[in-house]
Amino acid sequence: MKIKYVSTPIYYPNSVPHIGHIYSNLIADVWKRAAVLMGKKAFLSTGLDEHGQKVAQAAQRCGYSPKEHVDYLSGLFISFFRKYNLDWDVWVRTTNDAHKASAQAFWKKLEEKGFIYKGNYSGWYSITDENYLSQKPEEENDNIVWREEECYYFKLSALEDKLKTFYEKNADTVFPKTRYNEVMGFINKGLADFVVSRPKDRLHWGIEVPGDESHVMYVWVDALVNYLSAIDYPNDGYKNYWPAVHILGKDILKFHAIYWPAMLIAADIAPMSKLIVHGWWLNDDAKISKSSGNAIDLDELKEKYQADGIRYFLIKHMSIGEDAQFKEEFIKAAVHGDLANKYGNLFLRLLGLIELGFGSRLPELSALKKVESCKNLEKLLEEFKQMLEGLSENPELANEYVSKFLECISEMNNCFQEHKIWAIQDKHEQAAYLYFFTDVFKKLSILIYPIMPETANEVMQFFGFKEVSMKHYDVPLGSGFFNDKPKFFPKNK
């Protein structure tokens, strides 16, 4: 049986994670939770890209061996990701033996098919980007070095036509369209063979080239193969998952859109099914990164806005493909403005009215007449529910999904205000509205689970359900007493 497979990039463990890393994983996590909510089988891979010069240098700076360094950072990444309720099926580490064996098997396959040959290279190399530069940089620095070395090449030039045909036939492979155009631009400029090894005497921190212990694999080849090693390539089981949907940031598009599918085609494996390319989180117009010192403390953020609050903000505020500003005022607008004032507060008002008028006991559904005057809210809720299916297939719909949630909670508030629920004198009528809104609230909370899992769980437990599941969606609410109110989000200050 085919299992839908989504991957995130694997991160360089040269420093602690930041919000950009959390974001890539969040898109995948939201998708996986949506798929599971829809009863589908889904698989998510993520992890660390532990080889290469950048990581070796970071370890040296900290006074550790590369292995000690990556072991420590792997634990740290996992603990931060867990704090934001990010989940996965496999945590890849490229220093694991299984990954190494998989990468070597992939290399051998490329070699067998005649796509790898030995040659020499001389040119400028960027250590930060782990990449040779096409021309001499205007300014030299410690990160840009001249190199002359014996190396292995990958015959990319021989695959130019195949790659072009693939993208012409499968324009939907790259999301959004602007990135697709960029990919076609790369191809139209012509594709040259590229270097896929490094001499071991220069860089020992890598996977050995099979059959030549004087070279290690180029870290990007090693890293890209993680998408296969995560699903047990070369063992046949990988075919149950492949092809994958890859989530990545715009800075690593060329590696994923050109090198990777070309290597896959060369190894007789179908290219990935989709690349979802997101933009950057910016702090005052500069890309957030640990090295530039503009990253925001993830513990502090969580403390202030809760994991679910930040998850909601990240998905709401970035339209996939565009860059977005990471500013406190925008977080406040999302967490206080939407979640506290429109979502949590309405629920607390409902509970207050149920307490006041009905002794904290929600009236029985069978005794109530149907509310007919909130048709627009019902329509929006139905549209939102329909979108869950789309999200469970297409992670790139997360941002639209949150917009629909916001439409629903705004309309729920409008309706509540318009009908002045708190002032209705007729007890039967008021009870009917209270039930209606409480039920809408429960449904919205189930549907928002992929984005805000902790909140959804809390709400469902409050209503007496063990877990968040679509099987509870149409189940009438029990008429038990409502006592301990959920905490929700801090009210607008």
**Whole-number minimum distance, CB 80 to ligand MSP, in Å?**
13
Nearest to 451 by CA among 402, 415, 409, 381: 402
Q: Tell me which of 289, 345, 461, 469 binds ligand MSP, using CB under 6 A.
A: 289
Q: Which residue has the closest beta carbon to ligand MSP?
A: 249
Interface with ligand MSP in residues 46-105 (CB under 6 A): 49
Label each residue of 383-450 as H, E or C: HHHHHHHHHHHCHHHHHHHHHHHHHHHHHHHHHHHHCCHHHCCCHHHHHHHHHHHHHHHHHHHHHCCC
Q: Does residue 479 sit in helix, strand or coil?
A: coil
Alpha-carbon gap, residue 200 to 37, rounded angstroms: 48
- In what helix (H) or strand (E) does residue 150 lie, and over which residues does it extend? strand 144-154
What binding mask, one character per residue, do residues 16-55 give for ligand MSP by CB under 6 A, x or -?
Answer: ----xx-xx------------------------x------
Among 11, 175, 313, 343, binds ligand MSP (CB under 6 A): 11
**Closer residue to ligand MSP (CB): 157 or 289:** 289
Give the range of 61-69, 92-100, 219-227, 468-476 binding ligand MSP by CB under 6 A: 219-227
Cβ proximity to ligand MSP, 223 vs 380, nearer residue: 223
What is the rounded CA–CA span in Å between residue 87 and residue 6? 12
CB of 330 to ligand MSP, least distance (A): 15
SS3 letters across 272-305: CCEEEEECCEEECCEECCCCCCCCCCHHHHHHHH
Kindly tell me which of 8 and 430 has the beta carbon lying closer to ligand MSP.
8
Gyration radius of the chain's alpha carbons: 26
Candidate ranges 10-18, 112-120, 157-165, 349-357; the one touching ligand MSP (CB under 6 A): 10-18
Please choose, from the candidates 171, 257, 179, 273, the residue with its C-alpha nearest in 3D space to the C-alpha of residue 220: 257
Nearer to ligand MSP, 318 or 459 (CB): 318
CA distances from 25 to 29, 133, 205, 292 (A): 6, 30, 26, 22
In whole angstroms, the minimum distance from the beta carbon of 453 to ligand MSP comes to 22
- Compute the distance between CA of residue 445 and CA of residue 461 in angstroms, rounded to an integer: 11
By CB under 6 A, name the one of 5, 6, 12, 156 that touches ligand MSP: 12
| CA 87 – CA 315 distance, rounded (Å) | 16
| 49 vs 208 by CB, closer to ligand MSP | 49
With contacts defined by CB under 6 A, how many residues of the chain interact with ligand MSP? 21
Residue 255 DSSP class: I
Q: 130 by DSSP, 3-state: which?
A: coil
Residues in 382-441 that interact with ligand MSP by CB under 6 A: none
Chosen residue from 42, 73, 116, 223 binding ligand MSP by CB under 6 A: 223
Closer CB to ligand MSP, 249 or 271, in the complex: 249
Site string (244-273) toward ligand MSP, x via CB under 6 A:
----xx-xx---------------------
CB of 122 to ligand MSP, least distance (A): 25
Q: What is the 3-state secondary structure (H, E, C) of 151-191?
A: EEEECHHHHHHHHHHHHHHCHHHEECHHHHHHHHHHHHCCC
CB 410, min distance to ligand MSP, A: 28
Give the whole-angstrom CA distance, residue 39 versus residue 473: 14
Which of 4, 9, 353, 399 touches ligand MSP (CB under 6 A)? Answer: 9
Nearer to ligand MSP, 223 or 334 (CB): 223
- Quick one: 23 or 465, whose CB is closer to ligand MSP? 23
State the Cα–Cα distance between residues 133 and 139, nearest whole angstrom: 13
- Which amino acid, 60? Q
Under a CB-based contact definition with an 8 Å cutoff, are residues 44 and 7 in contact? Answer: yes
- Contact by Cβ (8 Å): 192, 157: yes
Per CB under 6 A, which region of 9-17, 304-312, 439-447, 476-484 contacts ligand MSP?
9-17
One residue of 287, 302, 385, 419 binding ligand MSP per CB under 6 A: 287
Tell me whether residue 13 or residue 309 sits nearer to ligand MSP (CB atom): 13
Site string for ligand MSP, 178-217 (x = CB under 6 A): ----------------------------------------
Contact (Cβ atoms closer than 8 angstroms) between residue 272 and residue 198: no
Nearer to ligand MSP, 35 or 225 (CB): 225
Binding site for ligand MSP (CB under 6 A): 9-12, 20-21, 23-24, 49, 223-224, 226, 248-249, 251-252, 280-281, 287-289
